[in-house]
Structure 1
Amino acid sequence: MTDSHDCGDPNRRTVLQAIGAGAIGTAGALGGSGLGSADHGGEHYYNPLYEPHFPDPEVHRADDGTWWAYGTNMNRENTDDELLVPVLSSTDLVNWTYEGEAFDARPGWTEGSIWAPNIHYYNDEWIMFYSLEPRPWESGEFGIGLATSDTPRGPFTDHGQVIGDSDTGGGTIDAYFVEYQGTPYLFWGSFQGIYVAELTPDLRDVDMATVTQVAGDAYEGTIHYERNGYHYLFVSTGTCCEGHSSTYEYEVGRSTDFFGPYVDQNGIDLMEYNEYNQGTPVLTGTDRFPGAAHGDITTYDDGSEWLLYHAYDATDPEFIDGVPRRVLMMDRIDWENGWPVIGCDGTPSEVSPVPGSGTHCGDNGGDGPLSAGTYRISNVNSGLLLEVGDADTTEGATVNQWSDTGHPCQEWELIEHDDGTYRLENVHSGHVLSVADGSTSEGASLVQRAWGDAADQRWRLIEGDGSYRLENGASGYVADVLEASTDDGADVVQWSWLDGDNQRWNFDPV
């Protein structure tokens, strides 16, 4: 003990000098082929919903109330590793379970990689339109195929090609099926125009004499959605697959006529846009979640409307085995003057009220898992308390764990923000829990700094079994006792969530 405070010997710890994944022995890496669901609880959910990979999500609800989602495969380069349309299920739109693959065998009408499935229930069966792209070493053409199943789980039976580039001249992927006034139609297109045409009654062919172009060359990944007398065309634009630098986003046009013209909020026909990101976005990426678009819309029991889509998570690698790593996201759609507002402000949310909670924009705060107040925070693995080392009151002093001394350097004021995050202010110093230098690197030390409303000073509390993990608002990593140590003075760093007790914390009110 020192004479100046009760938080231990000033020479009792070694400051972590090297920051980064290579410098820390705590952990493991996210597997390149596994699939995992996010952990949610209480009245809020956290994006991403599902990872490490689920791009181009399409969703449909079965009669029993279960939602089924279908995505683009994981690995497009290695035939043996490719998933033949991964399938998820959910009873609440928030927690998703991996169910397997939609196909038992690869569709045989041409070799290639399966993209962007589009799922509906039609004429007493589940129908899936899917895109197929030949790989660089394969012959064939881009095109759209059809498969059907008696159940949403599958397996789906393939019925071959419906339409291809030889029919259209190019860009023939990203199907979206619509039944309009009793007639089946198909939207499609990828950066060579968005088109719609009538399908034959058996859905196996397109009547090319009915083709109508509805949007310009700037778009792909279409959703058609009817609401309050309008037809809405949600279209993806920008670069989808360049990792964290991707510019993918959603723009939208509406029309009183199914065949258009579809005009945006500025009265401009979507046919006029032939360059990426030139219109007015209704969803655009953030530093945390770039490349946000290409998804589907569904409705919850209370009538609220939800967009499921994909984005990158900048706290994780950009690619897995060379494939862009895109995760499943969800945000509520609100409406202002007949136009959609996604995620409350047109950007992906990190935390939002769960569907059916009765709250949405402006209601994220004030309803977090813990009430504001003063707490002592103990590590589940070691039982030791989170403290500022040596009762230091200086900017940048490091944070560690130590046995109970009764000193206020081991007490934290929990202050909730409107977005559902918290800041943790040390009672002794008045500084807040932060990441050294605002780093987003795995293994960076936790320190105290004066409150500056920085993202690395905001923390999400995610409950599990009565304890909580502290997830950083800038990096997405969690507060972690280095190497799961149970020693006094062990460093506290940020690290990927590994479901370890050294990453769980008990909050006891003072």
Structure 2
Amino acid sequence: MTAQNQFGAIERRSLLKAIGAGAIGATGVIGSSATTAATNHDQTYYENPLYGPDFADPTIHRADDGTWWAYASNMSYSQNSDEDLVPILSSQNLVDWTYEGEAFTARPGWLYGSVWAPDVHYYDGQWVLFYALWPREDDDDLVPGIGVATSETPAGPFTDHGEILSNPDHPYPGNTIDPYFVEHEGTLYLFWANFAGVYVVELTEDLQDFRSETFQQIAGYAYEGPTIFHRDGYWYFFGATGDCCDGFDSTYEVEVGRSENLLGPYHDRDGTPMLERDEWNAGPTHLGDDERFIGPGHGDVAVDDDGSYWFLYHAYDTDGPETADVYGWPPARQLFIDRVYWTADGWPIIGGDETPSMSAPVPNLGQHPAPVDDGTYRIVSVDGRVLTVDGTDEGASALAITATTADESRAQAEWQVSRLSGGEYVLENAASGHVLEVENADTSDGADVQQWPWHRHPTQRWYLHGGSNGTYHLENACSAKFASAENESTANGMNVIQSSWNGGDGQRWTFEAVDDGDGPPPIGDNANAPTDITGDGRYEDVNGNGTRDVADVVDFFENLESPAIQDNVEAFDFSDNGRVGTSDVVRLFENL
């Protein structure tokens, strides 16, 4: 049942192998008491889109009180009164958003135009809003440009300070829109783009003028909507490419470059210099269409408390409107958010599979209580079969086998389970040292679940969601599908695959902690040491025979004062009062 792992036409396995196989020890597997806590799927999930029908070109920044603030373009050409002058949203969790009003009380006066592509930062004690001003009704007699405004509070109103930069001010072709501000080592930079290249110039200290001798190009004609940020030794450029505004026929997507230096040179994942990318949608896609969501792009990056990265962007929902109002304009580009995962060699994978998520685990999940503590477990299906692998080789398939068969190759049926900072889990096989993943990073129903060396791709990350009777669902972070016995079969030795959620027993698993040898010694005349069969750090199986029954209560009571019990209070403190006594005998009996 061991399958060769090849990617075929798209060669995604080649990509993963190129990423490199690191040691699973980097995840910090820790032997600990095996406590569990219910994690309800509905409580830990959000659904895209988050806000609409029009919140284009979003930018985001967080206030000191923890509130997230988002700002967007509004592109109504039909009625002046319909045009919000930079709509503002606030959120406590990056998912639930509240409309707060507009950034401006009146249009910036230096050009009669629509305010596009805001970029907001907190700098030097004030909220700073960079924005593009595009001539209303596409008036060719007016020249678009970038301005700046400031406010004491993120909700505004913002005071406009006028134009910084427009087309005649720089030596490059194209219009001057889509600003993005970066402060680095005391120097202030303004990036901009509009399918005529991505450029940068230094700003003066008051942010209201530019230094003409500092112009530079960093990417080719293919891009607009730049986002620039630093992570782990690299500067990343997220650029939008393709047609943004043709409704459901839009071709927008996100491509990425990176550099060790802010000003470049930037290269994409294929190694191509971003300066050479002059054709729409020609580079590797990091966020593109799926069957429902169209034209994702032009967003901003946020980092949550648990260290996870998130991309806030706009896209179309084909289950919703194509335009935002009765006039047929603007296009209904709604607000989306998706997790940014990172490969072992530092490339972003947005949304797990590089398409917008319809539903995904909430931000900051790593700060929620852990459903299962780090430790070594047997992962057992509801019908009693144990999750194992067909050998120790790379690519060996995961199987569901009977407990008797699993005892013959015990280590292959044991998993070192460790939670990552973002809330997902890595499952490392105790025999092989490889981790559980979905074959070829496949996102379709029926894809085989296998083991491969750790390379950090989302296909090797699993979310655990609590179900009924202490069971859990194992959801793959790349595909959003669930580990299940093939065809829902209960036969011994069936392959484990991924499938869409169906609520059946075939997708429900329990985590049985494996005794690490540090538990209490045998009690009384018993030959076997007690075991923690529920995974809660308490050794209810006092006689070590693998079950919890009246015989355990009797042995516990008869040996209550023995050193084997009194020297292991934490293991037998069933009443949770810090000591072991008759109340624990009663509690053990009550819990049978």
TM-score range for the pair, normalised by the shorter chain length: 0.5 to 0.7
Q: Are the aligned partners of 1:296 and 1:307 in contact in 2 as well (CA < 8 Å)?
A: yes
Distance 1:417 1:297 in 2: 25
Partner of 1:262: 266
Q: Are the aligned partners of 1:43 and 1:353 in contact in 2 as well (CA < 8 Å)?
A: yes
Distance 1:274 1:420 in 2: 34
Is 1:140 aligned with 2:142?
yes
* Distance change (3 Å), C-alpha of 1:319 and 1:229: same
Distance 1:50 1:86 in 2: 12
Partner of 2:197: 193
Is 1:299 aligned with 2:303?
yes
Q: Are the aligned partners of 1:147 and 1:160 in contact in 2 as well (CA < 8 Å)?
A: yes
1:29-67 per-position Cα deviation (integer Å, ceiling 9, x unaligned):
xxxxxxxxxxx9611111111111111000000011100
Is 1:330 aligned with 2:428?
no
Distance 1:128 1:269 in 2: 31
Is 1:131 aligned with 2:135?
no
Q: Are the aligned partners of 2:242 and 2:250 in contact in 1 as well (CA < 8 Å)?
A: yes
1:221-259 per-position Cα deviation (integer Å, ceiling 9, x unaligned):
001010111111111101100111111111111111111
Distance 2:137 2:499 in 1: 45
Partner of 1:48: 49
1:167-203 per-position Cα deviation (integer Å, ceiling 9, x unaligned):
2342210000000110110000110010011001111
Partner of 2:151: 149
Distance 1:262 1:171 in 2: 22
* Distance change (3 Å), C-alpha of 1:184 and 1:41: farther
Distance 1:364 1:371 in 2: 19
Distance 2:221 2:158 in 1: 32
Q: Are the aligned partners of 1:54 and 1:74 in contact in 2 as well (CA < 8 Å)?
A: no
1:70-100 per-position Cα deviation (integer Å, ceiling 9, x unaligned):
0111523321110000000001111110001
Q: What is the identity, as a one-letter code, of the residue corresponding to 1:124?
A: G
SS at match of 1:217: coil
Distance 2:315 2:502 in 1: 22
Partner of 1:251: 255
Between Structure 1 and Structure 2, the one with more strand by share is 1
Q: What is the identity, as a one-letter code, of the residue corresponding to 2:356?
A: P
| Offset of residue 103 of structure 1 | 0.6
* Distance change (3 Å), C-alpha of 1:77 and 1:371: farther
Distance 2:52 2:130 in 1: 24
Which is further off, 55-64 or 357-366?
A: 357-366
SS at match of 2:264: coil
* Distance change (3 Å), C-alpha of 1:458 and 1:81: farther
Q: What is the identity, as a one-letter code, of the residue corresponding to 2:359?
A: V
How many aligned positions are there? 348
1:131-163 per-position Cα deviation (integer Å, ceiling 9, x unaligned):
111023644111111010000000000111110
SS at match of 1:284: coil
Q: Which residues of 2 match residues 493-504 of structure 1 at below 5 A? A: none
Partner of 1:272: 276
Partner of 1:353: 361
| Offset of residue 366 of structure 1 | 5.5
Q: Which residues of 2 match residues 156-171 of structure 1 at below 5 A? A: 156-168=158-170, 169-171=173-175
Match of 1:220 among 224, 243, 252: 224
Q: Are the aligned partners of 2:241 and 2:252 in contact in 1 as well (CA < 8 Å)?
A: yes
Distance 1:454 1:280 in 2: 28
SS at match of 1:297: strand
* Distance change (3 Å), C-alpha of 1:274 and 1:417: same
Distance 2:44 2:318 in 1: 25
Partner of 2:420: none
Distance 1:283 1:234 in 2: 10
Distance 2:128 2:240 in 1: 23
Q: What is the identity, as a one-letter code, of the residue corresponding to 1:233?
A: F
Q: Are the aligned partners of 1:54 and 1:327 in contact in 2 as well (CA < 8 Å)?
A: yes
Q: What is the identity, as a one-letter code, of the residue corresponding to 2:321?
A: P
Structure 1 residue ranges (4+ consecutive) displaced by more than 4 angstroms after TM superposition: 360-366, 370-373, 415-422
* Distance change (3 Å), C-alpha of 1:454 and 1:153: same
* Distance change (3 Å), C-alpha of 1:70 and 1:137: closer
Partner of 2:240: 236
* Distance change (3 Å), C-alpha of 1:231 and 1:454: closer
Q: What is the identity, as a one-letter code, of the residue corresponding to 2:162?
A: G
Distance 1:114 1:258 in 2: 27
Distance 2:308 2:269 in 1: 22
SS at match of 1:166: helix
Partner of 1:122: 123
Q: Are the aligned partners of 2:75 and 2:114 in contact in 1 as well (CA < 8 Å)?
A: no
Match of 1:367 among 465, 480, 497: 465
* Distance change (3 Å), C-alpha of 1:55 and 1:48: same
Partner of 1:63: 64
Identity of aligned residues (%): 51
Q: Unmatched 5+ residue regions in structure 1?
A: 1-39, 374-414, 423-429, 431-452, 460-510
Partner of 1:205: 209
Q: What is the identity, as a one-letter code, of the residue corresponding to 1:357?
A: L
Q: Are the aligned partners of 2:54 and 2:330 in contact in 1 as well (CA < 8 Å)?
A: no
1:267-322 per-position Cα deviation (integer Å, ceiling 9, x unaligned):
11001011100011111121211100100001111111111001000101211232
Partner of 1:4: none
Partner of 2:91: 90
Q: Are the aligned partners of 1:351 and 1:364 in contact in 2 as well (CA < 8 Å)?
A: no
Between Structure 1 and Structure 2, the one with more helix by share is 2
Partner of 1:445: none
Distance 2:314 2:234 in 1: 25
Q: Unmatched 5+ residue regions in structure 2?
A: 1-40, 367-422, 425-457, 483-487, 489-497, 504-592
Kindly name which structure, 1 or 2, has the bigger radius of gyration based on alpha carbons: 2
Question: Superposition RMSD on alpha carbons, in Å?
Answer: 2.5
Distance 1:86 1:61 in 2: 16
* Distance change (3 Å), C-alpha of 1:221 and 1:458: farther
Q: Are the aligned partners of 2:323 and 2:331 in contact in 1 as well (CA < 8 Å)?
A: yes
SS at match of 2:248: helix
SS at match of 1:92: coil
